[in-house]
Amino acid sequence: MITGFDYGTSNCAMGVARGTQQDVSLLPLEPGKAFMPSTLYALDRDLICEQVGLNIDAAAQQQAFIQQRSGALARAARVRREQGFHADEQSLYLGQQAFAQYLSEPSEGYFVKSPKSFLGASGLPPAAIHFFEDIVTAMMQGIKRRAEAALGDTISHTVIGRPVNFQGLNSEQSNKQALDILTIAAQRAGFKSVEFLFEPIAAGLNFEQSLTTDKTVLVVDVGGGTTDCAMVRMGPSHKNKDQRQQDFMGHSGERVGGNDLDIQLAGKHLMPLFGMNSTLKSGINVPTKAFWDAVCTNDAGAQANFNHKTTGFHLEQLMRDCVQPELIRRFIALRRDKQNYHLVRSAEQCKIALSERLDVQLDLHYIESQLACNIDRGQFAEAIYRPLNKMTNLMGEAIKQAGCEPDLIYVTGGSAQSPVIRHAIEQQLGRIQVVDGDHFGSVAAGLTVWAQRIFG
């Protein structure tokens, strides 16, 4: 079978076409749901490598992996012996199950959210790249098994979505590293043929199926990790072409997305509950780096800094030197219990709620009994001003490349549902009609359309 695979920063989805390219459906990856959160939880990080090796079907490929990962596999065997994990005991969880495991015991195991955010990061040693390969492979193996169970058939060919740029720096080098990891992971997951397509173009291909006249469309895809824009000629006289390069008039993209909005909201309105913006006894402000490191959950370097022992020493000293030591004590407890991911998830839930409501009372009882924070839509808009400005600038860049204005703007991506983001888009290009797409399924559907075109 042939599929389109949206390996997203926030969610993953996989689509198939039944009969015609227009008859696209998304496969259930969670009970009753087509979208699986991009999360992984393992009882121990070395057990991720072990599970990857066990689930590689091709014997020669599996043997090569075992030889390459001999050190990590030896550590996994030692972990099983020392921790008393049985061979048949589940050690790896994905999606909602991963969230449930982390939320029940945040200080235990290994939890990662949005691993796509780390792809293409610069300066990584080979061991770190291998580890990211294993995380992505473990997720792809699990997603493929779920999709095949729902489909009742084996999936052999896929088109995977990719952002215009995975990272903001050294884009050519980082894009190659990220695509290499995704390709290796897909092959180890059992895909025989793998191709890639820009995510905004995929979203546009899905929208194109509904057009009855030709249009020049600015596709704006506000994803979890990146925002990507593409200027595309589309419509009845374009959609059946085998070659579409001439229709793609301009594209832009940057590593700024929904996760960055969550981080900004958490940093500016939740971290003050943990001592950020408070003062030292000397009268100067408390240094903010550790607070931002805590909530920058999409930055491997920030997380390494936050979890390093020197940060622990620094916070102990802050507690002695600050005017409100109880706030720093709360921050130390959050760090000890590894609840920073939970805190950013609360910010994400607040962002989602503010799409429907003007203010939200955010319950943080998991940190401390009766701890809460009230945030309104205006505070959210103020908190995300900088990343939102980057997003709107990307639209202008794509239009400038194309050398003409679009007939309409097609907006997709989960975060694009926010009225704050919609207002910013309309302010930037208010003279042009804005059309909302399927905010979660358009990329997977468009990837499926393209997969049928090139593999069918």
Regarding whether 402 and 373 lie in a shared domain, the answer is no
Q: Has residue 307 got a pLDDT over 90?
A: yes
Work out the burial of residue 218: count CB atoms within 10 Å of its CB; fewer than 13 is exposed, 13-18 middle, 19 or more buried.
Answer: buried
Regarding whether 224 and 341 lie in a shared domain, the answer is no
Question: CB–CB of 51/91 below 8 Å?
Answer: yes
CA 309 distance to own-chain centroid: 28
Last residue of a domain, one of 347, 369, 385: 385
Regarding whether 370 and 410 lie in a shared domain, the answer is no
| C-alpha distances out from residue 361 to 144, 270, 348, 372, 374, Å | 39, 12, 13, 7, 4
Question: CB–CB of 27/151 below 8 Å?
Answer: yes
- Integer Rg of the chain from CA: 23
Regarding whether 182 and 275 lie in a shared domain, the answer is no
Question: CB–CB of 383/410 below 8 Å?
Answer: no
pLDDT of the residue at 170:
61
Cβ atoms within 10 A of the Cβ of 111, count?
Answer: 21
Host domain of residue 82: 2-199
Q: Which residues make beta-bridge pairs with 33?
A: 30
DSSP character at residue 322 = B
Work out the end-to-end distance of the chain between its first and last CA atoms, rounded to an integer number of angstroms.
Answer: 9
Last residue of a domain, one of 352, 385, 418: 385
pLDDT of the residue at 22:
62
Question: CB–CB of 176/129 below 8 Å?
Answer: no
Question: What's the number of domains the chain is made of?
Answer: 3
Which residues does 404 contact at the CB level (< 8 Å), separation at least 6? Answer: 216, 231, 249
Q: What is the mean pLDDT of residues 104-126?
A: 89
* Residue 279 token pair: 């003062």
The pLDDT tens digits for 416-450 are 888 999 888 888 877 888 888 777 788 999 999 99
Regarding whether 72 and 187 lie in a shared domain, the answer is yes
Regarding whether 267 and 244 lie in a shared domain, the answer is no
Regarding whether 16 and 154 lie in a shared domain, the answer is yes
pLDDT of the residue at 169:
59
Regarding whether 243 and 288 lie in a shared domain, the answer is no
Q: What is the domain-level CATH number for residue 246?
A: 3.30.420.40
| Average pLDDT, rounded, for the chain | 92
Which residues does 113 contact at the CB level (< 8 Å), separation at least 6? Answer: 37, 38, 39, 297, 341, 345
Please give the share of the chain, as a percent, with pLDDT higher than 90.
74
Name the residue type at position 284. I
Regarding whether 170 and 123 lie in a shared domain, the answer is yes
Q: How confident is the model at residue 19 (pLDDT cuts 50, 70, 90)?
A: low
Q: How confident is the model at residue 177 (pLDDT cuts 50, 70, 90)?
A: very high
Q: Confirm whether 450 is domain-assigned.
A: no
Q: Confirm whether 446 is domain-assigned.
A: no
Name the residue type at position 353. A
Closest CA to 392 of 428, 431, 417, 423: 428
Closest CA to 354 of 437, 296, 415: 415
Regarding whether 283 and 221 lie in a shared domain, the answer is no
Regarding whether 87 and 65 lie in a shared domain, the answer is yes
Q: How confident is the model at residue 105 (pLDDT cuts 50, 70, 90)?
A: confident
Q: Confirm whether 204 is domain-assigned.
A: no
Question: CB–CB of 26/441 below 8 Å?
Answer: yes
Q: Confirm whether 32 is domain-assigned.
A: yes
Name the residue type at position 30. E
Q: Confirm whether 456 is domain-assigned.
A: no
Cβ atoms within 10 A of the Cβ of 415, count?
Answer: 28
Regarding whether 368 and 231 lie in a shared domain, the answer is no
The pLDDT tens digits for 61-86 are 999 999 999 999 999 999 999 988 88
